[in-house]
Amino acid sequence: MIRIPASYLGNRIVTLVLTIFIAATLIWIIPRLSPVDPAEIALGRMAAGAGTVGNSEEILAQLRSRLGIDQPWIVQYVRYLWGVVQFDFGLSTANFPTPVSALIANALPWTLGLMLISITITFFIGNLLGALMVWEHSPKLVKVAIPAAMVLTSIPPILSALLLMWIFSAKLQLFPLTGAYGLTVEPGWTWDFVQSVLYHGFLPALSIVVVTFGFWALGMRGLMIGVQGEDYTTLAKAKGLRPRYILYRYMIRNAILPQITAFALKIGMLIAGQVLVERIFAYNGMGKLLYDAILDQDFPVIQGVSFVIILMTALSVFIVDLIYPLIDPRIRHGK
């Protein structure tokens, strides 16, 4: 149905692979430039737990070989890249024998779920509001939303998260302060659990939606002004179609297209912002995992989380680029 020219596809795949490769390499090189020795950190943690540690030299050597840092750099690097391809980031030093990939596998669904919900809501509300700002039949009240939307877009989600948390959790005590589900609820596919998850996820999602919908609204407003003046809109009106039908099928349908490209460019910032929101709400996702790993100086986890998030970003941009002709039949790749 859609034909993607091989040259364009090849070009995009090269960029994708290069992105992943450079990110993986940066993440690998940086900690090795620092004087910190992960084996000593692990030993220090043991010593803190047990009081004293005998024959520490042997344990250090053991740990180094277990973590693979007694090998030459080039061997470590090749092993690391091979591991990354298989989503194997080694073992966590804070929860020692647990593989990093298991920790990430636990945290990732939370982050993905929260992200999917908040991004869908913000994209929907923002674009609808932006369209209504231009539509001549919309209520006067919508026009007031313009300055509000503008001001809110400039604020990062961490700040809105703090404010919402204070108002709704600390002051009004309507929503829980931290966590992704209640302490008394058993995780599983039960109604209680789902309810608890939705209840806990409401504020984190809201704090992202509140500050991001304006971006889409303003973009949509600019695009709708262009579509409003097009001949096909005038023709549709002249034919006597219902205004609502014209709005959805003629105006929004055409104006939404560049918004989807903007979505791809914005996704990296959205994910990074959400990681911070998760940290503030102590939400069980990648943000909390990353924050705990920073506190424990758990480098394999920090590397793994960073890499997975960068991979998610790069893949989303790649996918949006490729499916674009599906939603806009006028676009042909490679031209």
Partner 1 sequence: MTTHNTAGVAKPDLTARQIRRMKRFDNPWRNPKLIWGAGLMLGIVTLGILGRLFWNTDLVFTGSAPLKLPPIGFENLRGQSGQAGFPLGTDGAGRDLLALIVIGAPNSLFVGLLASVIGMSIGIFLGFSAGFLGGRKDDTIRILSDVMITIPPLLILVVFQAAFGDVSLTLMAILIAAFMWQSPTRLIRAQVLSMRESGYVQMARLSGASTMHIMFREMMPNLVPYLFGSFIANVTTAIVTAVGLEVLGLGPQRIPTLGRIIYEAINSGALIQNLWWWWGLPTILLGLMFIGLLLINLGLDEVSNPRLRKL
Sites of contact with partner 1 (CB under 8 A): 14-15, 18-19, 22-23, 26-27, 30-31, 33-34, 36, 150-151, 153-156, 158-159, 162-163, 165-166, 169-171, 177, 265, 268-269, 271-273, 275-276, 279-280, 290-291, 293-295, 297, 299, 302-303, 305-306, 309-310, 313-314, 317
What backbone phi and psi angles, to 5 degrees, belong to 307? -65, -45
Residue 55 DSSP SS3: coil
Quote the DSSP letter at residue 186: P
CA quadruple 195, 197, 202, 203: dihedral positive or negative? positive
From the centroid of its chain, how far is CA 70? 35
Q: How far is the CB of 269 from partner 1 (least distance, A)?
A: 7
Q: How far is CA 298 from the centre of its chain?
A: 22
Tell the smallest beta-carbon distance from residue 184 to partner 1 (Å). Answer: 20
- Closer to partner 1 at the Cβ: 121 or 315? 315
Q: Toward partner 1, which CB reaches closer, 28 or 193?
A: 28
Nearest distance from residue 93's CB to partner 1, in Å? 12
Cα separation, 53 vs 60, whole angstroms: 11
Q: Which is nearer to partner 1, 187 or 222 (CB)?
A: 222
Residue 4 C-beta: closest distance to partner 1, Å:
18
Comparing CB distances to partner 1, the nearer of 156 and 325 is 156
Closest Cα partner for 228 from 331, 145, 133? Answer: 133
Q: Encoding tokens for residue 247?
A: 């709005």
CB of 292 to partner 1, least distance (A): 11
Question: In angstroms, what is the minimal distance from the CB of 284 to partner 1?
Answer: 17
For partner 1, the closer of residues 203 and 246 by Cβ is 203
- Closest CB to partner 1 among residues 35, 240: 35
Residue 248: DSSP 8-state: I
Backbone angles phi, psi at 91, to 5 degrees: -105, 145
In angstroms, what is the minimal distance from the CB of 199 to partner 1?
18
3-state SS class at 285: coil
d(CA 126, CA 117): 14
Tell the smallest beta-carbon distance from residue 153 to partner 1 (Å). 7
CB of 85 to partner 1, least distance (A): 18
3-state helix, strand, coil in the chain (%, to 5): 75, 0, 25
CB 45 within 8 Å of CB 95: no
In the numeric block, the tokens 């297209």 are attached to 257
CA of residue 90 relative to chain centroid, distance: 23
Residue number with CB closer to partner 1 (46 or 152): 152
How many residues in the chain?
A: 335
Residues 6+ apart with CB under 8 A from 329: none
- For residue 256, give both structure tokens: 């939404």
